[in-house]
Each structure stands twice: as C-alpha cells, then as structure tokens.
Structure 1
Amino acid sequence: MSDIQTWALVFVALTFSVYIYIAWRSRVRETKGFFVAEQNVPAFANGAAVAADWMSAASFISMAGLIAFLGSDGSVYLMGWTGGFVLLALLLAPYLRKWGKFTVPEFVGDRFSESVRSVAAVVAIVVSFTYVVGQMSGGGIVFSRFLQVPQHWGVVIAAVVIFAYAVFGGMKGITWTQVAQYTVMIVAYLIPAWAVAQTMTGIAVPQVSFGQILAELDAIGREFGMDTYTQAFTARPQLDVFLVTMSLMIGTAGLPHVIIRFYTTKTVRGARFSALWALVFIALLYTTAPAVGAFTKLNMLQGVQGVSVDALPSWVANWQATGLVSLADGTDTVGTITNNADTFAAGGADMLLNNDILVLASPEIAGLPAPIVGLVAAGGLAAAMSTAAGLLLVISSSASHDLYFRYVDHHASERRRLFVSRVAMGVAVLVAIYFGINPPAFVGQVVAFAFGLAASTFFPVLILGIFWKRTNAAGAVSGMLAGLVFTASYMIYTLEVFGTQAHEHVLGISPEGIGAVGALLNLVVTVVVSTLTRPPSEHVQEMVEEIRYPARRTVPVRSAD
C-alpha cells in the first residue's frame, strides 16, 4: 500500500467513524425528529448543514474541473449556484418555514390540493434520484483512485455508510453529521489550495494570487489547442451561458432537499439566518474553486507538455488505472489534451481527461505530501455523502409521508411511518447504487440536470403559490407536468441515456440550460390555466395572504381539498 493509500484510508476510516457515532447519538423514534430534526436546529449549525447538503460532489469534485476546461464560461456554475441561494433566502425560505410542514409536497398539497401534492411527491423523487446519481458516482471515483477499490464497489461502500447514518437519525442525525462533513470538506479543499498558491505565486491566498498566472495559462493552453481560458463565450454560446446560469439559479431555489432544511430551524428568523450562514460557508469554497481550477490546469499542462509517455508524471499512471485519464493508441509524446466538459469522447487527442479528477488529483499534480492527498480524498467523500443523505431523506419522506401515509394507511402509527420511511430509503439506496455505477454523464453534468428538473417544476409553482393568490390546483399541476415533460424530453433527446441517440443542441441550448426554458413554460402554463379555471377558495387565499408576513405567529393551515 502506497503512502497516499495509507493516509487516505486513515482519514476515511476516521471520518466515517465520526459520522456513524454522531448518527447513533442522534437516533430518533418519532417522525418529527426523522423528517425535520424536531425543528430545533440553531441557525449557525443549520447554515453549515445547508452548505454541506448543497455543496455536493459536483461542487467539491467536479466544479473546479469544469471551470478549468470551460474557462470564463465556467462561471455559470459560480453565478448560478450562489445566486440561487439569494433567491431562496429572499423569496422562499421564510415563507415555507412559516408554513411549518415536513416536506415541499406537503406545502403544495395544503396550498393547492392532494392531487397536486401527489404529483409534487413524484417530481421530488425524480429530481432527487437524478441528483443522488452524481453523488454516488463521485464517491465511487474517490474510492477507485485512493483506495484502489473498483469504482462499482466504491459506490456500494459509500451507499452503505450513508444508509447507516441516515436511517438511524433521519434529519436529526443527518443535520449534525453534515456539520462535521462540512468541516472536513472545507478543510480538505482550502489546505491544498493555500499550499499550491504559496508554491506557485508566493501568496497563500488563492482568490488573490491566481490572477498572476492567467496570461501564462492562456499561452500554454493555446499550445495544446485549447480555448483561451479568459475569453468569454468560447466553450458555450452566449445564449446558453445565460440559460445555464438561470437554470442553476432557480433550480437551487427549487431543490427539495435544500428547501426542507429550512423547516428544521426554531423560528422563521432562524430560517433567514440559516440562509445567510450558508452563503458565508459556501463562499469559502466557491471563491476558491476558480483558483484551484487555474492552478491545477497550469501545473498539469506544464507537467505533460512535450513529455514522452515513459517520462510522464506518476499521477498520470495513477489516474489511468481508474479509467478517468486515457492516452490515445500510439502516443509517444503528449501534444494535445481534450476533456469531456461538453463531450463524452474526443478523437485525435493524445490525452483525454475526465473533469472529475482535477480537484482530487490537484495535490498529486502539485507534488504535495501524501497526508494532504489523503485529506482531499476524505473531503471528496464528505461532499458526496452529505448531499446524498439529504436526497435520500427527501425520497424517503416523499414516499412515506406524502404517498404512503396519505393514500395507503392514513392512520399509520409513528412506528409504522418510521419503518416505511426506512424501507423507502433502503430501496432508494439500491436504485442509486445502480445508477451511480452506470451514470448517464460525469458528476457535474448529472447534478446540473437535477437542477434543471427542479427549476422547471418546483420553482415557478412555489413562487406563484406564495405571491399570487389566484394560482389554483389545475394551473399548478399543469405547469409542473409541462415543465417536467419538456425538460426531461430535451435532456434525453440531446444525451445518450437509456439507449437513445444524442442529437444536436437546438439553438445551441445545452441540456444543463434547458431547465430555464422549462421553468418559463411552467410559469406560462400555470398562469394561463389558473386564469381560465375556477379560483382557489377564500380560505386558501386568506392562508396565502397570511404567510406573506413571516413574523406573524400562526398560519391557518388546512388542506385545500
């Protein structure tokens, strides 16, 4: 076992032990603790948990790689994912917390009708499954490289640990586990970034110092036939840059597993401050990611430029073993490098890189000590597992609380409902394992698809449900279904998923950006159908009027049916 494997095993075993211990100490026996952590989580801790829940494998593992190879156009991920939290804090979090329910479908059911609740529960499951695939795949990548475990077994190991701590404590256990995971994640991300920045520029503040190397990065990138790193709209058309940013932004504000976290605070004020703390915690990583991408890309290109295959750095062979780096047949000297930021294959490249390796390989590429490499492995797993646990809870709560309890056994006891929730979580884990082993795209892209689905389904209905009293059940269900069918169909049309043939992007719109168009379609359909059909009852309209003032103490909640 190499030094890197040894340190990775040490950090992974240590952190996994902490997660399981926290979950055991936080185990619950009632649904309120399982679904919303007894609504007793302090704002500071909830902010850290929100950050960990949302900063998934895509943020930790994949985002810097996307920025590195997309260049300026990669800023869509920074603007979209952080901007979405501003929308969430201002337009949704305090109002949904005022409602005081367990799930997003439960709000939709109270606001519109039980039939809309059922549709929302199914949509929540679809979105969450799409998102969790990326997390499982990310966990498999970490295990595959650092512990020399086949990627499919890495996915299985990560899933078993996630299931163990999620099923014990539900939201309560997940919340405090995510606080620990955020700590591991941010330490593992910042320490290598500081070290590389100090080594390359003499200034250990990557957010400041990476500007010094951009001209050099542009020059060496051109030698490899790559787009200019600092030039806008080279990797994506301008329209697509706008749509991807918008899709990620409103998708963030509509993600069920993020929204549900704001139900766990003590007060509405706590929900607002949770969003503020979450933005602070997220900014620590998001302001560092562009620097990590730039530094690592420059280090990588300088290390392989004109180098014969026999003399390539050791990190190339290490990652070749995982299948995430490959050399073209007959390659003697590396002269061109292609990545999979927009394509899954590239002909004629001497070296093909998967975007998902860049952060994980960064310490190796920079020649940092083995303990730091091992720490990064633990951070990558923390990122994947923290989000996966929240997603599994959404799937579990939607299946048990919004479907089983409402339609199968309305008089189920607390014990029975908890049992069904845990069974649903187990089934979700098995499905997630399969798709984690056989993902339809790389981690960052799979996660972007989930954001697109959330943008085109939940966000318009939640906004209209809070701020337009005229919105009714017919409009809400029509809008959600229109957005879901349109967005999912376009994604399947433009990607090789489920055995379909990939087609050209219409008007240059990528599948990551189509969610914004789906959201607009949802909005239009909801407004038109609501206008042409009977308005909601006076009681529902009074209820909507009440939640617009989050500081008030009560909401006269009653099912719309």
Structure 2
Amino acid sequence: MSAKKPPYFRKLSRYYLWYTGCFALFLVALALLEQEGMPRLWIGYIFMFATIALYATIGVIARTSNVTEYYVAGRRVPALFNGMATAADWISAASFISLAGGLYLYGFDSLAYIMGWTGGYVLVALLIAPYLRKFAQYTIPDFLAARYGGGAGGRGGPVRALAVGATIVVSFTYVVAQIYAVGLIASRFTGVDFSVGIFLGLASILVCSFLGGMRGITWTQVAQYIILLVAFLIPTIWLSAKHADNPVPQVAYGSLLPKLAQREAQLAKDPREEQVRAEFRRRADEYTQRIAALPASWEAGKLEAQRALAEVRARNASLGEVRQAERDLNTYPGSADEARTVWQEQRDANLARARPPEPHATPFPGATDAESDKRRNNFLAVVFCLMFGTAALPHILMRAYTTPSVNETRVSVFWTLFFILLIYLTIPALAVLAKYDIYTSLVGSDYSTLPTWISYWANVDKVSPLVNVTDINGDGIVQLAELAIDADVLVLATPEIGGLPYVISGLVAAGGLAAALSTADGLLLAISNALSHDVYYKMVDPGASTQKRVTISKLLLLAVAFIAAYAASQRPADILSLVGAAFSLAGSTLFPVLVLGVFWKRANHTGAIAGMVTGLMVCLWYMLRASPTLGGSLDASWLGIQPLAAGVFGVPAGLLATIVGSLLSAPPSQANLRMVDYIRAPEQES
C-alpha cells in the first residue's frame, strides 16, 4: 500500500459521509413537505430529477480524457470504495426490482438466483479477479488476446475478435434489461409514457459514462449504492416490525414463514377461490379447443372480431367501446401459426392461475415426482448458469483493473461480497413479508376498498398491465386467484403495500433507478471500451492518439446507448429472463477460456477459438430450440431445462471444445507460457 493512499482514503470517506448526511436531510425535508400537502407527483419528480442531477454532477466533476482514468479509473480506487462500486454495478434492476418479485411468485425456486449470483462472485474472487489485476491491462479481450495470441503486446486476431463479440452480445442483452427497468420506474413516478421514461433515464447514464468513463462511473456507483441500500432496507424493516414485532428482517423471516404457510393452506381450500380457479380452467380448455381446431378457429375468430367492430360502429356505441373493438381486431393474431403461439401462451397463463397457491417454503413442489424432479433440475441448472456467468461478466471483471494492487483487488472482492450480502440476505425476507401482507390484508377485502396502489400500477403499462385485479366470480370480494402481480412491480410497490408514506415510495424508486443506472453505466462502458480499445485501437489503428481513442469510445457509447434504449422500448421480455440469458451466454462463451487460460498452460489459440465458438453456438441453439418467445418450444427442451439456463449445456461444451482443440493443435508459445507463470506467481506489492 502506497504512502499516499491513507490521505486519499480519508478524503473519500469524508466526502461520502457528508453525502450520506445530506441525503438523510433531503429525505426528512421531503417527508415534512408531504405532511404539509405536497402532491405525490411532485415528490416523484423531485426524487427522479434530484438523483439524476446528483449523478450528472458527479459525472461532470469526474470528467476526464486520460486513457488510464477513462478505462480503469487510474488504478487508484481503494478496496472499500471499489467494493461498494462493484456491488452497485452488480446489484442490477434484476436484483433490486425483480428478484423479490420472483421469490413472491415462485417461492423456494427463486432462491436459485441468490445462490447462483452469490456463489458466482466467490468464483470471481478465487479464479479470475486477482489474476486479471496482475495482468494490468484495460479489457477482458485484452487478457484473452495476450494469453492466447502471442504475448501481452500481440493483437490476438480471432481470439480478440471473438472476445469482443461475446462482450457485446452479453453486455447488450444485460443492458436492455436495465434500461427497461429505468423506463418502468420513470413512467410510474413521473407519469410520462413508458418509452419516454426510457430515454429520460439515458440522460443520467450518458452523462456519467460519457464524460468520466470508469472514473466517473466508479464515484457515481458509490453514491448509488448508498441510495439503493437505504431504499431497500427502510420498507423491509418497516414490514418486519409491522408483522413480526421485530425490526430485523432476517429474524422476522423465520417467524413469519409458519404463519404464511397456514394462510396458504386456508386459501387453497377456500370454496370461493376454487370458483375462480374453475373459471380459469374453463378458459384454458377454451384455448385448447381453439388450438385443436386451427386454422378454422383462427379464421372464425377474425371474422367475429370484424363483425364486432362493425356492430359497435353501426349502433353508435361509445368511443370506449369502439376503441376496444378496434384494439381487439388490431391485436388479433395475424396468421394461424401466430394464433397457435399466442393461444398456447394464454392457455398456459390461465392454467397457472387455476392452480392453488404453492407452499412458499417447500422445495420443488409438484403434483407428481416427475414434475418435482423437473423443478429440481431447473433449480440446479439456474444456480450453475448464474455462478459461471457471474465469473465471466465483462463489466464486473473490468473492476479488477481499477485497484492499486493485486492485494487490494482481493480485499475489494471481500468488501463487494459484504455489500452484496447486505441486500441479498434481506431479499427473501422482503418477499415473505410482502406476501404475508397481501395474503392477509388485500385478499378477502372488498373491491370497493381496493388500495390506490393497485390502480396506480395497473395504469403504468396499459399494453401489459403490471397489476390486474378482476372480480371473476362476481362476489365483490378479492380472491387470491383474481389477483395478478408482475414480478417487476413488487419491490417498487412495497412501501404502498405496507402503508408507508409516499416519500418512501419515491425513495424505493430512486433505489431501483440507482440499481438500474449503475449496472447500465458499467455495461455500456464495457461495450464501448471493447469496440474502441480492442477493435479500433488494437486491430484498426494502433497508432491512434490517446485523445482520439477516448473520443472514439465516447461516440461509440452514445450509439450503443440509443440502440439499447430502442430495444428496451420494444419490451422484449421480463427483466429476470433477459438477465438469465445474459449470464448463460457469458458463462458459455467466456468462462472456459478465462479459467483455463489462468490454470492450464496447455490451453492455446486454437482451443480458445474452438471453446468460444462452441460454447456460444450450443447456448444460442438451445435457447432458440426451447424458447417459445424465440420460435422454439418447451417440449423440445432437454430434461425440462428452461431456455434461460442454456449455459448448463454451453459451459461444458465450451470447456470440452477448448481442451480438445488445444490438445489437437500445437502447444502454446513460450511467451504464452511465461505469461501464465507471471500471473500465477505470488504477487509483489508495489
């Protein structure tokens, strides 16, 4: 540790202590203004634009054109702060927004995400991060090109090109999910259209990453971590104290699970619940009959939609009825094949709502042993993919380059795990607390007394409502089967579910925004750096000046950001599915060549090419084969493994191809062998 580090560390600590204190005063001031009657919409605007202005200010202050500062923050970020920044980079919209919602909907099965992501970071600490820091370059393709392409100064050729391609595919898939979350939050708390909210969020992303690169992103992410931690803990602690008389969520979690199980058993036997479930079974049967009668049923349905529109127009019906009939016709499947896909999805959705609530804490529940085994297989497959995908994510591994030394990188990984666990150990508790609140307070209540948060969230996205409550059996009482909540909504709605002041809802939205923006910043920088450094500088124009390299990176970052925003505005899938796909792709393509490059000297150029291509192709092929969204079918899956866990086949295929390709070709050069010896040798502190 250098002599100059302690003063720098103390200065940073002082800055962020002041920042935390000012943020607390900001919350108190907004709470007082709410008590005085400030409109909710204003509070949403203040939270949205105040946090964006804060991040923009940090980005402006941290602006730089220095290559080392722009790519790796000058390699002088202390371990504690690098841990906070990495945790913010890591706790994405999927963790902050969707994971608790997944646990609410699917119970024990969704613990696979927590186990996989946390275990994956252990792999990062043990297998990759310290060795990357000792290599001391800028990007992951840099490392792979040097390891497999003829020394640290080599261009790497196909290996570098493939690594760049993998970085772009993985990071782009991941960043679309983050920008989707930004649009979701912005539209809910400012009232703007979903697509407009996406492009509003880009302002904060771009001002940090565009002006300051890794330097600006790092100091912004530390500030974002503080916000997202406070935002996640306050409503969870409140619900914990409310339902368990204990402010420690992790302790309340255990005491509340038996009560939740008892309530689940009551709802499973409730006659009114069975009425609603029977109606959903009837609707599912109707879709089954339509599918069986294709293509005649599609033609008859289209004629019926056309007749319905003509009828409402002929009788001068209300504008609302006319628009609904037009919408029904416009959204009607365009062909018999499209109808089959749409009706199968609707049939499956109705069948899912026809099932009684599953016990939250029961591992792999199923009507038969085969169904239970299928769920267990998927659980283990998801854990596997997330672990190995985590250990290969370019935007996370890049942070290993930002610390002053190898030892600081190791310490930084410890701090990262600590800061991640503060959130991850709370997420399962939040899911149970929110579920118990809904099952006991909302279910069984009168429709005339529905809480306002339901109508708020139902109107955020009118194309695909995030919350839907419909009186299916007409008794005027809310049944559990009549309630549909999107996984991406639960955390954002938790303060309103728990009866907290609206200012806490704004705080949680700010936390979700911080989680999405912090990860999006890192992902966009990973893509633009790969294109500018590895493609433009290393492969196109090696004589480019440092100023030109940074300028190219900034321009590419702008282009990628707008393309990703457009993709997110098309609502490609739910956040958790997009993120799962990114992890499978990362693990299949990059993990085998990264870990074998460090620990197996015989791995060579040919093996690396074979491993990356094979891993990517197997992973993509399985996703296309088994994903209904991509034109495949779940019936074509292997062992019932869901498409987002395609990495369970891609990672072994990539490892095997790397080994076979290396053994069937010439051994690596002496320069490659010396490099392996160097990065694995005990480090000498500078």
2:67 to 31, 35, 38: 31
**Correspondences of 1:467-506 after superposition (within 5 Å):** 467-497=599-629, 500-504=631-635, 505-506=637-638
* Partners of 1:416 and 1:47 in 2: CA distance: 31
Q: Alpha carbon RMSD of aligned pairs, Å? A: 1.8
Partner in structure 1 of residue 467 of structure 2: 325
* Partners of 1:149 and 1:409 in 2: CA distance: 44
8 Å CA contact 2:471–2:478 kept in 1: the answer is no
2:672 to 528, 540, 554: 540
Aligned residue pair count: 542
**Correspondences of 1:68-467 after superposition (within 5 Å):** 68-113=104-149, 114=156, 115-222=158-265, 223=267, 225-234=356-365, 237-322=375-460, 323-328=465-470, 332=474, 333=476, 337=480, 350-467=482-599
Matched AA of 1:70:
Y
Inter-CA distance 6–221: structure 2 relative to 1 (3 Å threshold) = farther
2:84 to 45, 48, 51: 48
Look up the SS of the partner of 1:112 in the other structure: helix
Matched AA of 1:139:
V
8 Å CA contact 1:221–1:227 kept in 2: the answer is yes
Look up the SS of the partner of 1:276 in the other structure: helix
* Partners of 1:290 and 1:414 in 2: CA distance: 47
Query: Which piece of structure 1 moves more, 302-311 or 36-45?
Result: 302-311
Inter-CA distance 200–47: structure 2 relative to 1 (3 Å threshold) = same
Instruction: Encode CA deviations 1:429-454: one digit per residue, 9 max, x unaligned.
Output: 11110121123321122111111111
Look up the SS of the partner of 1:230 in the other structure: coil
Matched AA of 2:443:
Q
* Partners of 1:330 and 1:513 in 2: CA distance: 35
User: How big is the shift at 1:2?
Assistant: 7.5
* Partners of 2:596 and 2:110 in 1: CA distance: 31
Q: TM-score, normalised by structure 1?
A: 0.93
Matched AA of 2:375:
P
User: How big is the shift at 1:502?
Assistant: 4.1
Query: Which piece of structure 1 moves more, 143-152 or 55-64?
Result: 143-152
Matched AA of 2:570:
N
Look up the SS of the partner of 2:468 in the other structure: strand
1:507 to 639, 650, 656: 639
Inter-CA distance 179–301: structure 2 relative to 1 (3 Å threshold) = same
* Partners of 1:282 and 1:373 in 2: CA distance: 22
* Partners of 1:497 and 1:431 in 2: CA distance: 21
* Partners of 1:513 and 1:6 in 2: CA distance: 42
Inter-CA distance 398–334: structure 2 relative to 1 (3 Å threshold) = farther
Matched AA of 2:595:
I
8 Å CA contact 2:134–2:406 kept in 1: the answer is yes
Look up the SS of the partner of 2:141 in the other structure: helix
Q: Which runs of 5+ in 2 are unaligned?
A: 1-36, 150-155, 269-355, 367-373
* Partners of 1:369 and 1:530 in 2: CA distance: 61
Q: From the CA coordinates, give the structure whose radius of gyration is larger.
A: 2
8 Å CA contact 2:202–2:561 kept in 1: the answer is yes
User: How big is the shift at 1:125?
Assistant: 0.5
User: How big is the shift at 1:496?
Assistant: 4.2
* Partners of 1:77 and 1:361 in 2: CA distance: 21
Look up the SS of the partner of 1:507 in the other structure: coil
* Partners of 1:84 and 1:334 in 2: CA distance: 45
* Partners of 2:446 and 2:38 in 1: CA distance: 25
8 Å CA contact 2:382–2:645 kept in 1: the answer is yes
8 Å CA contact 1:324–1:354 kept in 2: the answer is yes
Inter-CA distance 93–198: structure 2 relative to 1 (3 Å threshold) = same
* Partners of 1:218 and 1:514 in 2: CA distance: 33
8 Å CA contact 2:607–2:658 kept in 1: the answer is yes
Q: Which runs of 5+ in 1 are unaligned?
A: 338-348, 555-561
8 Å CA contact 1:43–1:271 kept in 2: the answer is yes
Look up the SS of the partner of 1:533 in the other structure: coil
Instruction: Encode CA deviations 1:89-118: one digit per residue, 9 max, x unaligned.
Output: 111111010000100000000001211011
